[in-house]
Amino acid sequence: MKNLTQQRVAAVDVFRALTMFLMLFVNDIPGLKNIPHWLMHAEADEDMLGFSDTIFPAFLFCMGMSVSFAIQNRYRKGDTTTQVIAHIFRRTVALIAMGLFSLNSGGIEGGLSHAWFTILMVIGFFLTWGVYPQAEGARKHLFTAMKAAGILLLAALVVYKDLHGKPFHTGWWGILGLIGWTYAVCAGIYLFTRESLRRNTAAWLAVTMLAVLSHSGLIPAGYGSRILLLPFIPSDWTLHAFGMSGVLTSLLMQRYARREHPGRFIGMLCILGSAMLVLALASHPYWIISKIQATPSWLFYCLAAFFPLFGFFYWLTDVKGKAGWFDIIKPAGTATLTCYTLPYIWYSVQQLAGWSYPEALGSGVPGLLKSLVFSIIIVQLTGLLVKGKIKLKV
**112 is a domain residue:** no
CB 173 within 8 A of CB 99: yes
Name which of 40, 35, 346, 105 is nearest 357 in CA terms.
346
Q: What domain range is 26 assigned to?
A: 4-40+49-104+169-387
Domain-located, residue 63: yes
Task: Return the pLDDT at 80.
Answer: 94
Going 210 to 216 to 217 to 220, the CA torsion angle's sign is: negative
Distance, in Å, from the CA atom of 280 to the CA atom of 32, rounded to the nearest integer, reads 31
Q: What is the pLDDT of residue 153?
A: 97
Number of structural domains found in the chain: 1
* Residues composing the chain: 394
Q: Let me know if residue 96 belongs to a domain.
A: yes
Quote helix, strand, coil % in the chain, to nearest 5.
70, 0, 25
Distance CA 23, CA 135 (A): 35
pLDDT confidence of residue 75: 93
Nearest to 28 by CA among 380, 377, 381: 377
pLDDT digits (tens), the chain, 394 positions? 444 445 578 999 999 999 999 999 999 999 899 999 999 999 999 999 999 999 999 999 999 999 999 999 999 999 999 999 999 999 999 999 999 999 988 777 777 888 999 999 999 999 999 999 888 888 999 999 999 999 999 999 999 888 887 788 888 889 999 999 999 999 999 999 999 999 999 999 999 999 999 888 777 666 555 566 677 777 779 999 999 999 999 999 999 999 899 999 999 999 999 999 999 999 999 999 999 999 999 999 999 999 999 999 999 999 999 999 999 999 999 999 999 999 999 999 999 999 999 999 999 999 999 999 999 999 999 999 999 999 999 8
Largest distance between two CA atoms of the chain: 65
Amino acid at residue number 266? I
| Residue 149 belongs to some domain of the structure | no
- 117 within a domain of the structure (yes/no): no
